Each structure stands twice: as structure tokens, then as C-alpha cells.
């Protein structure tokens, strides 16, 4: 099963179409760390992370992981072994905090962009996460919570996301 992000406003799975938002500067084949662009291509997806203190575990075939206070996603090019990976937060390593004060990461699925052998500076922390207002993201794909939960029910571990 493939999740299609056909333009900056539409995510489609089978016959289901959802409104979404992507990076502030659109999508690109030349993604760079911090450029506010969503990477174009076809990518595998990771596990579903969720805030157990705020949300029930969603109905999905993906492995669900509770977000803990010390969880971060490394976006620091000075740490090649940790770059674009889930890490235990350390002050000296720049990271995206997963347990945020806002709601955006109450549910999130990392997109396996620049993932297996990450190229430093090519981009990290590309997620499918939540939005309430469809404001452009820093490079992620974001959906309203009700649509995210429908998508979570439809997709499987081997699902891919294709971003145009």
C-alpha cells in the first residue's frame, strides 16, 4: 500500500483523500537540512510514536512506541552516528524533541528519508505528524488528527509514501 502526497495539499491512500500540508518551500529532489522543503521520492515508513499521556494507542498494524521525555531525533551534522536517528536527548547534540508542549507530535510516523546510511546535511526528522491549521511545515507532511488516525488504520509495516 502506498500513501501518495500528490501536491502540497492532498494525501491519498486508495480512494481516501485527505487535506495535508508540507514544507513551507514545497517539495524538492535536492533536500538540505533546514531548507523547509519536503523531500520528493518514494520512502518506507517507520513505527508510529504516540503520547500515551494524551492519547490512546491508535488502531494500526504499525508498531506503536510511547514517546518518553528523553526521546529526540538527531538533526546535528556534528554527530554522524546519530544523525537522523532516534536518540536519548543530550544537551550537546542538536535534536528535534519528540515530547513537545504542543500537539503536533501527539502522533507521528518517521518517513525513512535519508535513513539507512544518512548523508550529513541532506535532511533529517521528516515525519508524518499532526496539524490543526494546515500551516506549512519545516519539511514534514502533516494531517488533522482524525485523518491521521484513518491513515494509521489503513497502512501496514511495508507501506510506502510517495511524495511528488
Quickly list DSSP for 1-25: -EEEEEETTEEEETTEEEEEE-BTT
User: Domains (ranges, CATH) in the chain?
Assistant: 2-163 (2.40.440.10)
> CA 29 to CA 106: how far, in whole Å?
29
29 secondary structure, DSSP code: S
The pLDDT-based confidence of 86 (bands split at 50, 70, 90) is very high
* Contacts with 81 (C-beta within 8 Å, 6 or more apart), sequence order: none
The pLDDT assigned to 154 comes to 97
Task: Report the percentage of the chain scoring pLDDT > 90.
Answer: 99
Amino acid at each position: 500500500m502506498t500513501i501518495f502526497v500528490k501536491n502540497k495539499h492532498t494525501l491519498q491512500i486508495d480512494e481516501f483523500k485527505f487535506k495535508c500540508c508540507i514544507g513551507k518551500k514545497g517539495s524538492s529532489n535536492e533536500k538540505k537540512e533546514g531548507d523547509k522543503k519536503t523531500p520528493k521520492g518514494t520512502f518506507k515508513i517507520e513505527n508510529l510514536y504516540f503520547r500515551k499521556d494524551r492519547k490512546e494507542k491508535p488502531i494500526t498494524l504499525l508498531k506503536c512506541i510511547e514517546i518518553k521525555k528523553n526521546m529526540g531525533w538527531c538533526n546535528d551534522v556534528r554527530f554522524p552516528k546519530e544523525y537522523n536517528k532516534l536518540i536519548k536527548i543530550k544537551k550537546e547534540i542538536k535534536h528535534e524533541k519528540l515530547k513537545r508542549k504542543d500537539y503536533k507530535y501527539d502522533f507521528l510516523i518517521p518517513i525513512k528519508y535519508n535513513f539507512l546510511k544518512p548523508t550529513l546535511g541532506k535532511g533529517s526528522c521528516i515525519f508524518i505528524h499532526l496539524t490543526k491549521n494546515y500551516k506549512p511545515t519545516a519539511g514534514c507532511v502533516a494531517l488533522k488528527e482524525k485523518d491521521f488516525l484513518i491513515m494509521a488504520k489503513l497502512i501496514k509495516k511495508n507501506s510506502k509514501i510517495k511524495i511528488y
